Each structure stands twice: as structure tokens, then as C-alpha cells.
Amino acid sequence: MKKIIFSIGFIIILFFLIAESIFAGGGRRNGTGGATELLIPVGARGIAMGSSTLSNSYGLEALFWNPANIARVGEYSTNVMFSHMEHIADIGVQYGAVSTDIESFGSIALSIKSLSIGEIPVTTISNPDGTGAVFTPQFLTLGLTYARMLSDRISVGLTANLVTEKLDLVSATGIAFNVGVTYTNFADVPGLGIAFVMKNVGPQMQFDGSGLLIPAETPSLNRPGQFYKVEAASFELPSQLEIGASYSYIVNEQNALQFSGIFANNNFYGDELKAGFEYGYDKMFFIRAGYSFAYDLDSDYNTYGINAGVGLNYDLGGVLLRVDYAYRAVQYEGLGDNHIFSIGFGL
């Protein structure tokens, strides 16, 4: 047990040492990072609770919030999940994942997230109103996660995300890592959990492709026309360091409450505080609410408002059905509020 505690302490110290270099410019570079699709959350339960479920998420719902928690699968060793979000500006976010627990090895999971943006007209310098052609942007994130329980209280997890972006004739590919640690029944307090997660850490990305070829002007006819290539600037990933806590309170055999909160430090956005609440009846019906805000930014920069949602768990004779819905208010007119639907199966 002492070795485990020492290992967890080492990981936490390592988190903060890495964070010191990654987040040194945070707050002064807001809005200048790339691959922001990595920040789009998935899973209705966590979104309904204000994106605060760092230490009390579980199963596939935990993949986005904290990879350490997929090791907490309960009685169902294999899980499948699908999710759809109506994001801002009519952008659709599709998500699918599957995980399995391998005895004495740990839990592994595969996930895929894609964005549906629709068709965009092609414009050029000579045709600023459009050429009549269109292109469809493609944003895809493929994830591979491994997690395991180090003890009955401590779990660790690591996710490697392959990120691809394609805009007409240019594209970029990168890799981003998430690492998390969760400690439940912390300080021997039943129901108290803490978690540390570092997200989206990886090398810079850069766009490349034939769309960066520009025809060169030849002042004479001594040689045929040629192309030169513009080198696109590289961009950093939107890294985050999050610290969270949660408390579960069992009222009686049928009623339970959960409270959660996190502090999020972002390298390209203001620091955030997030809080959430869940009421569960008979481990079957759930009501949730949450709120998040960037306290060190002007209120105009807080894009989202109140979050709320409901959930239903139903046993189909050995197969657990999970259905969740979340609503997230968007404070800017014309962008549209977010609606998130998730369905999962425990086998």
C-alpha cells in the first residue's frame, strides 16, 4: 500500500511539474490554440452535471472526463456507448465507444468522435463570392485507452488520441495524450473522491497539402510557370490540467445524492470552476444539474449557461440499458442551445 501511495504522490507531483511549463502562458494566449474539437465534451451525464464529473464518472461515460475511471466498470465487464450532440452553429458531434475489462490486466477502450459541419462554398481571391464548388470539413478523433485499479480505491488511466483535420485540400494530423488518477474514499471518508487529470498534451500540429501551393508569377517567358508552397504555421494543442472532488451520500436504500466540483486550468482559455449535482432514485432514475464559468474572464466570454439533464438505467435481463439526456444553454443568440443524447449498454 505504501508503494501505491508513493506512486500516486509521484504522479501528482509530475502533473504539476509538467503543468508549470505547459500552462505558463495561460490567460495571455486565449483563443490562439488549435484542435479545439478535443475540448468538445461527450456523454450526457457529465455535461448535465456541468462537466464536473472528474472523480465520480464511471465506465465509458468517463472516457472524456477521466480515463482512470473506465476501470470502475462495476458488474458489467463490457460496455458500449453512443452519443449525439447538437452543438453550436448547427454542428453535430457523433461519438461511439466500446470497452472491456480483462481480469488481472485492466480495462481497455476504443472511441471515435466526429464532427458534422456540412458543406462550405469554395472561395478564391478572384471569386470571393464562391466558385460554385463546395467542400466538407472532416474532423475525426480516434482514441485508445488503458486503465486499471491499483487498489480498491486508486485507479489510473491513459488515453492516446489520434487527431485528424481536413479542410478541402489541406490537412493536419497529431496525437494528444490524457492521463488521470482517481482516489475514492479519500482520507477514509466514505463517498469522498478526488481526481487529477491532464488532457491534450502532445506535439504541435501543422497543416499541409496541395492547397498551400501558390502559382508563381514569371516576369518573362524564359521558363514555364511554377508553384511555390506556403508553409503553414504550427499550432499547439489546447492542454488542460483539472483537479476535482466529489461526494456521494446514500440517503436510504432508494435515494442517493452526488455532488462534484472541479478546477480547470487551461493554456488557451481562462481558468474555470465547475460544479454539478445528481439525484438518483432506486439506481434507476436520475435528475442532474450543473454550472461552469471562467471566473477570471469578463462575463461576455462565458459561452455556456446552466446545464441540466435526466437519466434512466434499466435492466433488460442481464443487459443494462442506460439512456441519458442533457441540455446546455448557450448565452449567445443565433448559435443555438446544446442538446445531448447518450445510449449505452452494459454486458
Buried b (16+ CB within 10 A) or exposed e, 168-200: bebebebebbbbbbbbbebeeeebbbbbbbbbb
| Percent with pLDDT over 70 in the chain | 89
Q: Could you tell me the three cell numbers for 198?
A: 491532464
In this prediction, residue 2 carries a pLDDT of 55
In this prediction, residue 56 carries a pLDDT of 95
| Percent with pLDDT over 90 in the chain | 69
Instruction: Please determine, for residue 208, whether its predicted confidence score (pLDDT) is greater than 70.
Output: yes
Instruction: Please determine, for residue 325, whether its predicted confidence score (pLDDT) is greater than 60.
Output: yes
* Amino acid sitting at position 298: D
The answer to whether the CB of 87 falls within 8 A of the CB of 338 is: yes
Give the residue numbers spanning the domain of 251: 2-346
pTM of the model: 0.89
More reliable by pLDDT, 322 or 126 = 322
In this prediction, residue 17 carries a pLDDT of 52
In this prediction, residue 68 carries a pLDDT of 96
- Across the range 112-117, mean pLDDT stands at 96
Lowest-confidence region among 24-28, 32-36, 37-41, 287-291 = 24-28
Model confidence at 280, pLDDT cuts 50, 70, 90, reads very high
Spatial neighbors of 33 by CB under 8 A, at least 6 apart, are 235, 236, 237, 238, 267, 268
In this prediction, residue 126 carries a pLDDT of 84
- Across the range 68-97, mean pLDDT stands at 92
In this prediction, residue 13 carries a pLDDT of 54
In this prediction, residue 182 carries a pLDDT of 95
More reliable by pLDDT, 334 or 71 = 71
pLDDT digits 0-9 by tens, 119-174? 999 988 889 888 999 999 999 999 999 999 999 999 999 999 999 999 999 999 99
In this prediction, residue 25 carries a pLDDT of 47
Q: What is the 3-state secondary structure (H, E, C) of the chain?
A: CHHHHHHHHHHHHHHHHHHHHHCCCCCCCCCCCCCHHHHCCCCHHHHHCCCCCCCCCCHHHHHHHCHHHHHCCCCCCEEEEEEEEECHHHCEEEEEEEEEEECCCEEEEEEEEEEECCCEECCCCCCCCCCCCEECCEEEEEEEEEEEECCCCEEEEEEEEEEEEEECCEEEEEEEEEEEEEEECHHHCCCEEEEEEEEEECCCECCECHHHEEECCCCCCCCCCCEEECCCCCECCCCEEEEEEEEEEECCCCEEEEEEEEEEEECCCCCEEEEEEEEEECCCEEEEEEEEECCCCCHHHCCEEEEEEEEEEEECCCCEEEEEEEEEEECCCCCCCEEEEEEEEEC
Q: Sort strands 192-201 and 138-149 into parallel, antiparallel or unpaired.
A: unpaired
Spatial neighbors of 276 by CB under 8 A, at least 6 apart, are 48, 49, 50, 51, 52, 53, 258, 259, 260, 261, 288, 289, 290, 291, 307
In this prediction, residue 332 carries a pLDDT of 84
- Total tally of structural domains belonging to the chain: 1
In this prediction, residue 14 carries a pLDDT of 53
Give CA torsion, residues 52, 57, 63, 69, to 10 deg: 120
In this prediction, residue 214 carries a pLDDT of 87
Query: Cα–Cα distance between 307 and 96 in angstroms, integer?
Result: 22
- Across the range 12-34, mean pLDDT stands at 57
Query: Cα–Cα distance between 54 and 31 in angstroms, integer?
Result: 24
Query: Cα–Cα distance between 207 and 274 in angstroms, integer?
Result: 34
Spatial neighbors of 184 by CB under 8 A, at least 6 apart, are 55, 153, 154, 192, 193
Instruction: Please determine, for residue 112, whether its predicted confidence score (pLDDT) is greater than 80.
Output: yes
Mean pLDDT score of the chain: 89
- Across the range 14-42, mean pLDDT stands at 68
Model confidence at 254, pLDDT cuts 50, 70, 90, reads very high
Instruction: Please determine, for residue 256, whether its predicted confidence score (pLDDT) is greater than 60.
Output: yes
More reliable by pLDDT, 145 or 271 = 145
The CATH number assigned to the domain holding 320 equals 2.40.160.40
In this prediction, residue 8 carries a pLDDT of 52
Give CA torsion, residues 274, 6, 198, 268, to 10 deg: 80
Model confidence at 59, pLDDT cuts 50, 70, 90, reads confident
